[in-house]
A and B are shown apart, each in its own frame.
Chain A
Amino acid sequence: MNPAAAIRRTDPAARDWRRVLRMSLRALRRDIQAGELRVLALALLIAVASVAAVGLFTDRIQLAMERKASELLGADLVIAAPNPLQPVLSDAARQQGLQTAETLSFRSVVLAGEETQLAEVKAVGPGYPLRGGLRISAAPFAPDRLADAIPEPGTVWLDERLLQVLRIEVGAAVEVGARQLRVAAVLADEPDRGGDLFSIAPRLLMNLADIPSTALVQPGSRVDYRLLLAGTPAALDTFRSWAMPRLATGERVQGVREARAELRVALERAQRFLHLAALVSVILAGVGVAIAARRFAGRHWDSVAILRCMGATEALIVRLFTLELLLLATLAGVAGLLLGYVAQHGLSALLGTLVSSTQLPPPSWQPLLPALATGFITLLGFGLPPLLRLREVPPLRVLRRDLGPVNPRLLALYGPAVLATVALLVWQAGEWRLALYVCAGVAGTVLVLTVAAWGLVKSLSLLRGRVGVAWRFGLANIARRGPGSAVQVVALGLGLMALLLLTVVRTDLLTSWRDKLPADAPNHFLINIQPDERAGVQAFLHGHGLEGAELFPMVRGRLTMINARTVGPDDYENPRAKRLIEREFNLSWAERPQEDNRILAGRWWTVAEHGQGVASVEEGLAKELGIALGDTLHFQVAGQTVSARVLSLRKVEWDSFRANFFVLFPPGVLENYPATWITSFHLPAGQKALLAELVRQYPAVTVLDVEALMGKVREIMDRVIAAVEYVFLFTLAAGLVVLYAAIQATQDERCFESAVLRTLGARRAVVRQSLLAEFATLGLLAGLLAAAAATLTGYGLAVQVFDFPYHGSPWIWLLGGGAGLLGVGLAGLLGVRPALAQSPWRALRER
């Protein structure tokens, strides 16, 4: 056996775990007392808390969704269609031993005296609901009870909101289309109420038998017909396989699994986004951890050299520090979990009611483990590599202080951090592509910032000849520490960028968005205008000074073939494409393109082409369904095929709130098919009474109050933004930690240098000035870079995501530069204040 091996076998300290643990605990206590671990702990705390908060919150949402899933349909199986269902379906279901009930829903304006309100009308037949129950009460907000039947013919149940808006009570009469009905109860809850997220209008529940007398359901009206089914799983399966091949176009089967798929997808996406937002904090915290761990390691070179000199092996050093780090991660992690638990209540308060009207179920403990794991991964990936280098500290350092660990390979130092980042991203994003985008985004930002910071740092030397001694020393310091200064500027810049994005850019984006809508943008739509009502409605609008209200024809048709290829929902992966192809399109015709339409490819038709089989397609739809210029589209319209060659692709500004169409034809093609007409107009505030009059004259016409809709959309947006902002608070905190870590990173060196300066006779004021010069310059550079990066991000978001022009505010430069200059300058000065207060002798001796 060789002597080295023989000796290694006798390494008692490294093998005795209890002793290593004791030594690590002592080191941990000492380092905590000395404040060495503050930044590391804080960064970990933030990382764990942000992941825990988001994890716990999304867990609660998921639990709520699962709990509700069985009642979401009000049945076990539903067949839905935009047209009346084939009677054979319900007959067969009953024959096969299933319970059945029918419903029909649409939107309509409900009148009560002078008050009008767009409501979601649902007419239900006997037996409804088959699963779950209706709850009603005698007065708004009074205790509710389970209803034992559906509304009697001639009566309706209104939800509290509708009663309030119409300013009526139970017992009053409301007009629904041509029919007057009595309010018999307050509808407190119904099982298959649409998701709260998308239900804009309040609910009116009525008896199916009253529908004909309202005259609201006309050919071409938008109505959702449903057949509800319930029974044993075996009977349901039998029926399902019997019915599937017999379904007519438009009829689709929904089981509990398919129910609310849209909402589920939307929520999953939102959750993923929140997770990613939390991850940005984690990555930023990781940067803080890396900087802090580097400093921590640097400050332990001496003690490690002494330990090595006294006979500590590399293995022991590694174990000691790894254990200390793990102990710290456990402490900070548990604190982070507690903070995350508290913070998720905030998220639930912001977003919870969007999902469920009742309180969310309490979270499970499951999400805590991944959160804690995130803390450990961050620490190991970002913090361990610099600490592991401690084992390379040569024991000879006790005699020669210039010796340190050999310069590490970049890969060894940053490889684990990159790996940890990618692992966390893939884990949280759940897919490679999204993770890759985020990775590329982060890497690109850091790279650009680094190059810019390096350039700025280098260009500072031009200034040095023109400033006084203190400033010269400060600037010289920045240039001397070139790469280090650039890293500091980047780290400071990242922190400041998070701050600017949350304040200036967000406000700018919202302002730009609001500015885009002129004050007289249409706020009401009239749909379902019958051909014979067209002239009357137009006259009515003109008569009341509602100018510019152009009426557009609308013919419903289903896209069945593209060129020679038959298309159906199964041909598309994308849920939106599936939905689009399943639905009937609103086809229209026009002589000229509207102002808010822009031809992207191809050309508009000439007068000679009127009556020809050509069409113009909205570019988003074309992309979604794979339609190219020159393709021939075949639509099924009222049982006949209408074919058209795609002559142009259009870009449509949907949020102009004007009536717009996916597919337009020239005049002379669709005129002979059944059409309804649509228009939009701006109704000045205070003229709502006009609507009541209009609806009384034309009961089949549906008024869509988009102002309310926009308000609701805006409310949802605001809440989602608030939730994202809330999560970004963690990002902000992580950014501040990075700032602090970056300032602290070179503090020791600066303390020593200021001691040298003072020993050489520099007054304290001069030293302070030179430090202020250095920090303020670093801060200013970082602030300006952050402003540039934040502006670019805002621009990218506006143009690429929200699709509107972005006018960055000049304030961002002032705020970024100012915050950097003052914040970093003052924070830096505060950091070295103790050193300035200390005698220079002591500072020199402690080095």
Chain B
Amino acid sequence: MPLDQAGPSATLTPVISVPSALDLDNCSAALPAPHPPIIQVEQLGKQVSSPEGPLVILADIGFAIARGECVAVIGASGSGKSTLLGLLAGLDTPSTGRVWLAGVDLNSLDEDGRALLRAQRVGFVFQSFQLLNGLTALENVMLPLELAGQSDARRQALELLERVGLKARARHYPTQLSGGEQQRVAIARAFAGNPDVLFADEPTGNLDHKTGQRIIDLLFALNREQGTTLVLVTHDPELAAYCDRVLELDEGRLRARSAAGARA
């Protein structure tokens, strides 16, 4: 179901003003795009206090990501990748700068507002899967659909499980599934409700190479099918090469613009 026709987004569109004239000079990684960018970042910074004084984790980050684009964020451990992901998804608030997600300035929302925006627009895939152990595979996939208020959550969830090849294991609990299977359930959950943006944080980090490869294939295949924007955080250059574009973080700053990689 295209999200533009869904009830919730219909109420969003008229009240939210998208920055109409994008200042491309300020968007260090902006590409010419047919639509307004789905993610827009301006002078984003994050610092925390530490015993040795303020610690800068991210500084002066700016870029835009177009709808349907696939972008990898790479960098060494501690370079600020996960912090950036948290800020992009509205899980955390920046110290400076702004993030527009699906045209909405995240700074203008409180935590609940951001939660609702996530419910309607965003999906996640995590390194550690983050499935709820007490729920079956099916119930895990149903969860975001229910949170978004969809009425046929069960049917949609079953379809998604079928798509990731786990329909037969719908009633199994996460602990009864292998790592690869758990991540497939997580992917099904991430795509439930047709999110505009999918954030993936080291999705293969906990898997062996072969299983990881399968997961990546599945992720990109679904991404193509649904036209989702994918933001992939990884330290693996091989994985990053699957994406249209790579943003590299080095000690909290964007280092270079990378040309579009070869998409698998």
| Interface residues in chain A, defined as those with a beta carbon under 8 Å from any beta carbon in chain B | 1-4, 6-13, 16, 19, 23, 26-27, 30-31, 33-34, 302-303, 306-316, 394-396, 398-400, 846
Contacts and interface: CB of A to CB of B under 8 A. Distances in A.
B126 interface: yes
Contacts of A13: 119, 146-149
Given A306-B132, A309-B118, A395-B118, 18 more contacts: A2-B108, A3-B104, A3-B105, A6-B15, A6-B16, A8-B113, A11-B112, A12-B148, A26-B135, A27-B134, A310-B124, A311-B147, A311-B148, A312-B115, A316-B147, A396-B86, A398-B91, A400-B86
A636 to B, nearest CB: 82
A23 B234 CA distance: 34
Q: Which of A307, A316, A396 has the most CB of B within 10 A?
A: A396
A303 B134 contact: yes
A601 B122 CA distance: 85
Nearest to B104: A3
Interface in B178-203: 189, 201
Interface in B47-95: 82, 85-86, 89, 91-92
B126 A398 contact: yes
A314 B147 contact: no
28 contacts: A2-B108, A3-B16, A3-B104, A4-B113, A6-B16, A7-B12, A7-B109, A7-B116, A11-B116, A19-B146, A30-B135, A303-B134, A309-B89, A309-B124, A309-B130, A310-B119, A310-B143, A310-B189, A311-B117, A311-B120, A311-B122, A312-B115, A394-B91, A394-B92, A395-B115, A398-B126, A399-B86, A846-B133
B8 interface: yes
A303 B149 contact: no
A16 B201 CA distance: 32
Interface string B12-44: 100110000000000000000000000000000
B127 to A, nearest CB: 9
A10 B11 contact: yes
A16 B86 contact: no
Contacts of B86: 396, 399-400
Contacts of A23: 146
B144 A311 contact: yes
Contact of A312 (B122, B147, B201): B147
Contacts of A313: 112, 115-116
Chain B: interface size category: 35 or more
Contacts of A19: 146, 149
A33 B133 CA distance: 12
Contacts of A315: 112
Nearest to A16: B149
A26 B148 CA distance: 17
B110 interface: yes
Interface string B127-161: 00010111100010001101111000000000000
B7 interface: yes
A395 B91 contact: yes
Contacts of B143: 307, 310
A782 B194 CA distance: 56
A510 to B, nearest CB: 51
Interface of B: 7-8, 11-12, 15-16, 82, 85-86, 89, 91-92, 104-105, 108-113, 115-120, 122, 124, 126, 130, 132-135, 139, 143-144, 146-149, 175, 189, 201
Contact of B147 (A26, A31, A34, A307): A307
B109 A312 contact: no
A7 B85 CA distance: 22
Contacts, number: 120
B11 A311 contact: no
Contacts of B118: 309-311, 395
A7 B117 contact: yes
A13 B144 CA distance: 10
Nearest to A9: B11
B108 A4 contact: yes
A4 B144 CA distance: 20
- B11, B86, B116, most chain A CB atoms within 10 A: B116
B139 A26 contact: yes
Contacts of A9: 11
Given A23-B146, A311-B119, A6 B112 contact: no
Given A396-B91, A398-B124, A4 B147 contact: no
A307 B135 CA distance: 12
Given A3-B105, A7-B12, A394-B91, A314 B111 contact: yes
Contacts of A312: 115, 119, 147
A20 B134 CA distance: 17
B12 A6 contact: yes
A847 to B, nearest CB: 10
Contacts of B135: 26, 30
Contacts of B7: 10
A303 B129 CA distance: 12
A123 to B, nearest CB: 78
Given A309-B91, A313-B116, A399 B201 contact: yes
A7 B147 CA distance: 14
A311 B148 CA distance: 8
Contacts of B105: 3
B92 A396 contact: yes
A308 B135 CA distance: 16
Contacts of A2: 108
Contacts of A11: 112, 116
Contacts of B132: 303, 306
A308 B86 CA distance: 13
Contacts of A34: 134
Nearest to A400: B82
A530 B115 CA distance: 96
B31 to A, nearest CB: 26
A266 to B, nearest CB: 54
A237 B106 CA distance: 82
B104 A31 contact: no
Given A309-B118, A311-B119, A8 B112 contact: yes
Interface centre among A6, A312, A399 (most CB of B within 10 A): A399
Given A303-B132, A311-B119, A311-B122, A3 B149 contact: no
Nearest to A5: B113
A7 B115 CA distance: 10
A834 to B, nearest CB: 14
A4 B110 contact: yes
B15 A3 contact: yes
A398 B91 CA distance: 9
Q: Lowest 4 CB-CB distances: which A-B pairs, in order?
A: A311-B119, A12-B149, A4-B113, A30-B134
Nearest to A3: B108
Contact of A3 (B109, B130, B133, B148): B109
Contacts of B189: 310
A302 B134 CA distance: 12
A395 B117 CA distance: 13
Contacts of B124: 309-310, 398
Given A26-B139, A313-B115, A4 B109 contact: yes
A665 to B, nearest CB: 82
B103 to A, nearest CB: 10
B135 to A, nearest CB: 7
B15 A1 contact: yes
Contacts of B11: 6, 9-10
Contacts of A16: 149
Contacts of A302: 130
A734 B117 CA distance: 46
A6 B109 CA distance: 10
Contacts of B16: 3, 6
A315 B147 CA distance: 12
Contacts of B122: 311
Of B86, B104, B126, B146, most buried by chain A (CB within 10 Å of CB) is: B146
B186 to A, nearest CB: 10
Nearest to B150: A12
Contacts of B139: 26
B234 to A, nearest CB: 14
